[in-house]
Amino acid sequence: MILDVLKIDPLLTLLMIGGVLYIFILCFLTLFYLIKGLFK
Amino acid sequence: MNHITNIQLFALIVIFEVGSTTLFALGIGAKQNAWVVVLCAYLCSLLLIWAYTQIPKYYPHKNFAFILDDTLGKALAKPLLLLFGLYFLNQTMHNFYEFGALINMTALPHTPLSFILYVFIIVIIYILILGIEVLTRSIEIVFPFFILVLIAIYFLNLLTGEFEWNNLQPILGNGITPVLKEVPNVLSFPFGEMIVFLTFWHFVKDPNSIRRTTYIAVSFSTLLLLTSLLVILAVLGPKLASHTEIPLLETLLSIHIGMIFTNLDSIGVFIMFIGGFFKTAIHFYGFCLAITWLLNKQKPNWIIVVAGLLLPVLSLMRFESLNDQRWKGIDEGIYNILIYSLIPVFLVILIAVKNWAKRKEK
């Protein structure tokens, strides 16, 4: 399972958490600019 | 000046895509339909590549760090650049260890792996210090040889009595579900790995031709991958192909034509190594560029030397064996590649929405 690797590979863990976090940040920013554009 | 021509970009992409995939039977989870998996993944990858090549259209001749800074602002761009750098380092370590272990296993069984890795990295350091132009020109030189030998291997396999078309049947015998399950894996590796080229686009002389060249190169690579898979499946059969450590090497051992074309494994290993060598070098250069931009330095030379000399130690500490490396890299690490290959897609959407909002504001 993926969790087994994450437990023993810190680099992969960091990359996974960071990657998922940034996908959320990018989605949030897109939504923000979309709303900003719509209400201008 | 550091510039890449269209032909060099084509050779770079093909060697990168075919590179370490010669070590695997891609999509073998779908058994004899593995080639259908590659075909489906290729079709999906066209969308990914569209997103990757859209970025240089928004920012021609600008490096990746500038694009991130401009899109996200410095506070959010720097950590993302670091993450991309670490991702490239992660991929470098995997390719580096994998091909070092391949040479150790096949050509130099009595030589310590650490020695092979150090010789391997010293050549990479030397090439990369001379710049991207030397890297691309060396790829341009070995490219025809690489392709010709690969095609010759496929052709010679056709002439051996081991080639069985029946091994490829029935096509979609278990329905489309096993194929669809495997598509994300092949979409990530090797197509999603193209993300490293985001750090190279600003080197390309003519930014308008990036998309066309990339599409042609990826299509050509897919043709080679498909042929390779068909040969592996037809010669070994799906069961043996899925259990063999390096399937292409196994198919090479089956070539015995007129007592002349025989024992081609050493040539095969050499060709595989060329692909792996350049794939490692490209990922490593991507990592060094990301760190150079992060530290606001002009040249990546010191980072190449320091990180390069540490790389064999780090790889040997991280991986216990080839099986351990494959478990961490392909079996489980594939999700990691998928996440990072999708980030530029979200980035392109963000740039488009941001530009639209700006236009509306005016």
Q: pLDDT tens digit string along B107-126?
A: 889 999 999 999 999 999 99
How many structural domains comprise chain B? Answer: 1
**Residue B57 in domain:** yes
> What ipTM was reported for this prediction?
0.92
CA B211, CA B50: separation in Å to the nearest integer? 7
Residue with the larger pLDDT of the pair B81 and B362: B81
Q: Which residue of B has its CA nearest to A34?
A: B353
pLDDT at B160 over 80: no
**Residue B174 in domain:** yes
**Residue B264 in domain:** yes
Measure CA of the first residue to CA of the last residue in chain B; give whole Å: 38
Give tens-digit pLDDT for B5-56. 999 999 999 999 998 777 778 888 888 888 999 999 999 999 999 999 999 9
Contacts of A34 in chain B (CB under 8 A): 353, 357
What are the structure tokens assigned to B235, written together? 């010669």
Instruction: Tell whether B349 is within 8 A of chain A (Cβ).
Output: yes
Average pLDDT in chain B = 90
**Residue from B339, B360, B361 whose CB has the most chain A CBs within 10 Å, to mutate:** B339
List of residues 6+ apart from B87 with CB closer than 8 A: A15, A19, B336, B340
Averaged pLDDT, A1-22:
83
Mean pLDDT check: name the lowest of B120-129, B145-154, B255-264, B314-323.
B255-264
What distance in Å separates residue A29's CA from the closest CA in chain B?
7
Inter-chain contact A16–B350, Cβ cutoff 8 Å? no
**For position B77, which CATH number holds?**
1.20.1740.10
Q: Tell me what pLDDT residue A1 has.
A: 62
Instruction: Find residue B204's DSSP bridge partners.
Output: B4
Contacts of A33 in chain B (CB under 8 A): 350, 353-354, 356-357
CA B282, CA B288: separation in Å to the nearest integer? 10
User: Which of B76, B342, B360 lies nearest to residue A25, judging by beta carbons?
Assistant: B76
Contacts of A4 in chain B (CB under 8 A): 332
CA B319, CA B96: separation in Å to the nearest integer? 11
**Residue B1 in domain:** no
**Residue B118 in domain:** yes
Give tens-digit pLDDT for B320-346. 988 888 888 777 778 889 999 999 999
**Residue B248 in domain:** yes
**Residue B270 in domain:** yes
Contacts of B90 in chain A (CB under 8 A): 11-12, 15
With contact defined as beta carbons under 8 Å apart, do B225 and B24 qualify?
Answer: no
Domain membership of residue B135 as a residue range: 6-361
With contact defined as beta carbons under 8 Å apart, do B131 and B321 qualify?
Answer: no
Residue with the larger pLDDT of the pair B119 and B264: B119
The total of other beta-carbon atoms located within 10 Å of residue B290's CB is 29
Contacts of A39 in chain B (CB under 8 A): none
**Residue B130 in domain:** yes
